[in-house]
Structure 1
Amino acid sequence: MFKLVLSFLVISLFFACNKPVEEPSKPNIVYILADDLGYGEVGYQGQEKIHTPNIDALAASGMVFTNHYSGAPVCAPARCILLTGKHGGHAYIRGNDEWRERGEVWDYAKAAADPNLEGQRPLPSNTNTLAKVLKGAGYKTGIIGKWGLGGPTTESVPTKMGFDYFYGFNCQRQAHNLYPPHLWENENKVPLNNPIVVPNTKLDEGADPNAEASYAKYNQADFAPTLMHEKALKFIEENQEEPFFLYYASPLPHVPLQAPLDKVANYQNEFGAEDPYLGNSGYFPNQYPHATYAAMISLFDQQVGEVKAKLKELGLEENTIIIVTSDNGPTYTGGVDFDYFNSSQPFTNGYGRTKGFVYEGGIRIPMLVNWPGKVETGSKTDLISAFYDVMPTICELVGIPVPEDADGKSFLPTLLGKPQSDPDYLFWEYPEYGGQQAVRMGKWKGIRQNIVKEGNLEVELYDLSTDPREQNNIAEAHPEIVQKIEEIMKKEHSTPSLERFRMDALEN
């Protein structure tokens, strides 16, 4: 009997030792993109008024990137650069192009009724996106939130750009109301229980700006960020048996100032009395602008925490890499008080220095990566990186070739705790707000402003190691650095395919 048992054990051991080793499963990827969240608007970056405990916990148990940049200082080009891996000198979409030749695209009610008026300039149908690359590698791909890269009737909708599933705003203009009359699910228009209230609708004549009832029409039944969040959690649940890529492009905290009233009340108690915001620039009035803006960011934080909790509940936590970041710097309009919150700390606040501009406050963004067991707990890196590095990073992570036309460099070695040097430089080109270019080269930052408006090609130069607020232009003292930056600007610029994005001074 003993010999029989021994023989059985030997045979079992033989087969166990010779059993093929299974390759580790490909990690799930959750990329969470806030909309207009400033570098200094989260707790782990020094924010003192707005509570972001879930994001702070992810930062504390993961890796914080202190030198991460968007690809552009506004929505559409930033998202194009993220999804294609091409910087602003090569990208197809280089600015917010509302595609006005279609008709009255800025008429909110008409666009809500006519899908032909929704959406921004579309990407070419053959555009290679991160979603297409991952889908080809066996991933289920989903986008929840804001698209902004092609109208519903074009070939440039998420489901034709590599995503298996889409739910949210197709159009950035329609996202100027977080209680919209409809959202999109894949290629289907989904009506919501919200009567149309057109952006820039003011308080009723004679309404008391200090009475809560005066603002009732701006708070309706179906709050888009809540509906989107439910779909994000459902996407994770439904795809837990296979590798998935979730691009969660939240519309928060982009104005208008709208948030669930119970969450606003929490900050009302903290902040006390406020002067109402009476609306301008196409955005709604709000009785408690400080409390509402803080509530929007805290709601985003809560949703980030619930994504993490869902992954843990399903046993996916250790096989999922989470990235939380923002599409550009904070806004300067719509009732947002950037000085009150010090939104761009430690950089300069306000118009000309935040959203829409290639100064640090407009393009340096908060970014953390959380991946239990892979990314070191409580780590921080000063590695210089940008949106167009995400494509190469994820390709290397998954073990697939990086598209040949991608401009970036993988930061996976840094994530895994391996030595990595900074890129030679980062490059931005943005034809709006006067026309701008920028180069980050080590500690140096070169900027051109008013390329379109004035034909200006002079370079401002800043030493970010001593002047992170970009206050002292030292170009005259360092002509050799300026020359290098000018050479980079010339080398990395290609003539845009779209006339709208051309800057004549760069084409001569």
Structure 2
Amino acid sequence: MKYFQRLCLILPILLVLLTSTISCNKTKTKIEKPNIVWITSEDNSKHYLKMFDDNGVATPNIESLANHGITYSRAFSNAPVCSVARSAIITGSYGPRIGAQYHRKLKMVPMPDSLMMFPAYLRNAGYYTTNNNKEDYNIKKGDSVWDDSSKNASWRNRKLGQPFFHVYNIGITHEGSLHFTKEEMMLNSTKTGENTFKVQPNHPNTKIFRYTNALYRDKMQEMDTKVGEVVKALEEDGLLENTFIFYFGDHGGALPGSKGYLYETGLHVPLIVHVPEKYKHLAGNEKGIVNKGFVSFIDLAPTVLNLAGIHIPEKIDGRAFLGKNISIDEVNTRDETYSYADRFDEKYDQVRAIRKGKYKYIRNYQPFNYDGILNNYRYKQLAFKEWQSLYEEGKLNDIQAAFYKERTPEMLFDIESDPYETKNLISQPKYHTISNDLRERLDKWVKEMPDLSFFPEHFLIEKAIENPVQYGKEHKKEIHKYIDISNLCLSKFESVKQEVMNSLTSKDPWQRYWGLITCSNFKKDASALESIIRTIASNDPENLNRVRAAEYLGIINAENPSAVMINTLYNSKKPAEALLILNSIIVMQSKRYNYKFDIQLKNIEEVVSENSEVKSRLEYLEVL
């Protein structure tokens, strides 16, 4: 009885203790998930931060983050321009696979494979998701992505104890900050001395380029101050011990030949992750280290989901590099990244690249589209204008002039010995084993996606826009054939002559299209097929095939292409098609070919001429 009485006295106390323990465990569960903050800076490759490159400037706030976390010395955007890079980030998917590869989208595409933009998974798991404030996706956004996406978005508006994911975008380093006049350059000095760095070897070493470099480095330091303000706000709110902080550039830099191009200055970005002490087990238990493994933007979404303890959808292309079940040593061994470039605003090209270890292989599918093709917004920068003027005046050396000259279909660079990719090694026999390996890897990648850019953009808008991924799956065989045709130019013409001829006479218009591009890559070596090409230029039912045929004839100086190109422009009722035609016109009127074009605005269909990107081209051609 006495024992029973004692038990009755003790039992309430035990119940209180048990309830308290359960309550504590519940509270612990609520705060178990880490907060995650992204700080992004626009138009910023790693080359301008001293912690990544001796030619950069000090960024003490970013360096402080690195002291308490991990520096990723080989982090890459998959695309060198805003909307395409951000589309890869938000989906975890390659743009050419999902139809999100064109910058300044003419049409939005849906999310692929029943995926959601990754913040929606966080939100469904109880996270407060905020974006301050740039989105710039090429993809239709659902309602469930952000709790708040605005200039006022903040983690401070969440519920008490609620974990959060917050994005803070810094626009200080955007290329628009380098759009100054000569008068402004004379009036405003820079904090960074104009002789405290080296001008990269492919740029002319002029007053304008040195001033632009110095001003850009000033902007880096302004950006770093803003990074410090965000970190300080987190510290003041007592959140640093629970918060992963990612800092990264959103793609390559703003200096000429960087943003918009698949060179390292367009892709290789700074990435630092601050690791809170209580979650260091999710990052290998070490801080202040440098991880040399290759990570890219498609890896960011699965990494955040993994840190938050959320299942990573199987159809995401990327791989997590932090979090549960991730070996930091394994990440350190990753040595491969892929990238792509298509249309940026009104400028078309089609380039793919792979970097593996220290070697970079670039495949220019249309190498006659030289790098320096005008883009109106880009050429608001005085340095760009001067670069082009000096080329036209014959005042550049071979390395500096390469930007305005025709490229080779393949390029190979040793990034460690040639960080600015000025020495193409593709033709050197001692590198053939490396180039063959990288060519095969890249070819396998574009086929496995499959790469939708082997259809012209206007065709994708008409046929594939509702479900690009499914369209790619259904037409994988055709895409593989187009890729194979495009690769014929990598062989000797006589060994593939019959295959090229078969493509030109195919009933499939896009086999003819790629056959013509292949002939343009062969130039006069393909002159045996000139009569077939002339027939295509005269009466092919596809506008673009007539243009590509005329382009070939113009490249080999067999016939002035202007009449065919102008007539197809007048015939076009599709802005994306007209943009490709105008791109060829720009190439044909360049210094290399110097053909003249007399385009009359009144003859262009209104649905075409009123398109904003077409207007940019017509403005440059002085048609408006």
TM-score (norm 1): 0.64
2:49–2:56 CA contact under 8 A, matched in 1: no
The 2-side partners of 1:405 and 1:166 are apart by: 26
Is 1:239 paired with 2:190?
no
Alignment gaps of 5+ in structure 2: 1-5, 180-186, 196-207, 370-405, 461-478, 487-509, 512-624
Query: Which among 282, 295, 315 is matched to residue 405 of structure 1?
Result: 315
2:192–2:218 CA contact under 8 A, matched in 1: no
2:39–2:245 CA contact under 8 A, matched in 1: yes
1:128 to partner: Cα distance = 2.0
2:130–2:155 CA contact under 8 A, matched in 1: no
Alignment-derived partner of residue 312 in structure 1: 235
* Secondary structure in 2 matching 1:146: coil
The 1-side partners of 2:194 and 2:294 are apart by: 40
User: What aligned pairs does 1:151-166 form with structure 2 within 5 A after superposition?
Assistant: 156=140, 160=143, 162-166=145-149
* Secondary structure in 2 matching 1:365: strand
User: What aligned pairs does 1:259-274 form with structure 2 within 5 A after superposition?
Assistant: 268=190, 271=193
1:290 to partner: Cα distance = 5.9
User: What aligned pairs does 1:220-231 form with structure 2 within 5 A after superposition?
Assistant: 228=151, 231=152
Alignment-derived partner of residue 299 in structure 1: 222
Query: Structure 1 400/254 Cα, relative in aligned 2: closer, same or farther at 3 Å?
Result: same
User: What aligned pairs does 1:2-401 form with structure 2 within 5 A after superposition?
Assistant: 21-22=25-26, 23=29, 24-46=31-53, 50-97=57-104, 99=106, 121-124=107-110, 128-149=116-137, 156=140, 160=143, 162-167=145-150, 228=151, 231=152, 235-239=154-158, 241=160, 242-257=162-177, 268=190, 271=193, 292-333=215-256, 351=257, 354-373=258-277, 374=280, 375=283, 376-401=286-311
Query: Structure 1 143/87 Cα, relative in aligned 2: closer, same or farther at 3 Å?
Result: same
Alignment-derived partner of residue 440 in structure 2: 483
Q: Point out which structure has higher relative CO (alpha carbons under 8 A, 6+ apart).
A: 1
Q: What amino acid is aligned across from residue 96 of structure 2 in structure 1? A: G
Q: What amino acid is aligned across from residue 85 of structure 1 in structure 2? A: G
The 2-side partners of 1:268 and 1:458 are apart by: 40
The 2-side partners of 1:501 and 1:79 are apart by: 24
* Secondary structure in 1 matching 2:132: strand
The 2-side partners of 1:391 and 1:254 are apart by: 24
Per residue, is there more strand in 1 or in 2?
Answer: 1
Query: Structure 1 498/240 Cα, relative in aligned 2: closer, same or farther at 3 Å?
Result: farther
Query: Structure 1 136/54 Cα, relative in aligned 2: closer, same or farther at 3 Å?
Result: same
Q: What amino acid is aligned across from residue 332 of structure 1 in structure 2? A: L
1:130 to partner: Cα distance = 1.6
1:324 to partner: Cα distance = 0.7
The 2-side partners of 1:325 and 1:147 are apart by: 16
Return 16-25 or 313-322, whichever deviates more: 16-25
1:55–1:304 CA contact under 8 A, matched in 2: yes
Query: Structure 1 368/49 Cα, relative in aligned 2: closer, same or farther at 3 Å?
Result: closer
Alignment-derived partner of residue 611 in structure 2: none
1:489 to partner: Cα distance = 3.2
Per residue, is there more helix in 1 or in 2?
Answer: 2
Query: Which among 350, 355, 368 is matched to residue 435 of structure 1?
Result: 350
Query: Structure 1 444/330 Cα, relative in aligned 2: closer, same or farther at 3 Å?
Result: same
Alignment gaps of 5+ in structure 1: 100-120, 168-227, 260-264, 274-284, 334-350
Q: What amino acid is aligned across from residue 174 of structure 2 in structure 1? A: H
Deviations 1:232-252 (CA, angstroms, capped at 9, x unpaired): 5xx122227311111223222
The 2-side partners of 1:290 and 1:319 are apart by: 38
Query: Structure 1 42/93 Cα, relative in aligned 2: closer, same or farther at 3 Å?
Result: same
1:137 to partner: Cα distance = 1.6
1:387 to partner: Cα distance = 0.2
Is 1:494 paired with 2:451?
yes
Deviations 1:331-366 (CA, angstroms, capped at 9, x unpaired): 235xxxxxxxxxxxxxxxxx2xx2111122211111
The 2-side partners of 1:493 and 1:457 are apart by: 24
Query: Structure 1 423/43 Cα, relative in aligned 2: closer, same or farther at 3 Å?
Result: closer
The 2-side partners of 1:147 and 1:330 are apart by: 19
Query: Structure 1 457/83 Cα, relative in aligned 2: closer, same or farther at 3 Å?
Result: farther
1:81–1:87 CA contact under 8 A, matched in 2: yes
* Secondary structure in 2 matching 1:483: helix
Query: Structure 1 452/407 Cα, relative in aligned 2: closer, same or farther at 3 Å?
Result: farther
The 2-side partners of 1:130 and 1:246 are apart by: 13
The 2-side partners of 1:66 and 1:49 are apart by: 14
Higher radius of gyration, 1 or 2: 2
TM-score (norm 2): 0.53
Deviations 1:67-111 (CA, angstroms, capped at 9, x unpaired): 110020111100000000001331332021253xxxxxxxxxxxx
Deviations 1:377-423 (CA, angstroms, capped at 9, x unpaired): 21110011100011111121112222232101110159977421445
Alignment-derived partner of residue 445 in structure 1: 360
Compute the RMSD of aligned alpha carbons: 4.0
Q: What amino acid is aligned across from residue 473 of structure 1 in structure 2? A: L
The 1-side partners of 2:240 and 2:327 are apart by: 20
The 2-side partners of 1:34 and 1:315 are apart by: 24
The 2-side partners of 1:243 and 1:90 are apart by: 33
Q: What amino acid is aligned across from residue 169 of structure 2 in structure 1? A: A
Is 1:473 paired with 2:425?
yes
Query: Structure 1 378/500 Cα, relative in aligned 2: closer, same or farther at 3 Å?
Result: farther
- Matched residues, percent identical? 27
The 2-side partners of 1:498 and 1:164 are apart by: 37
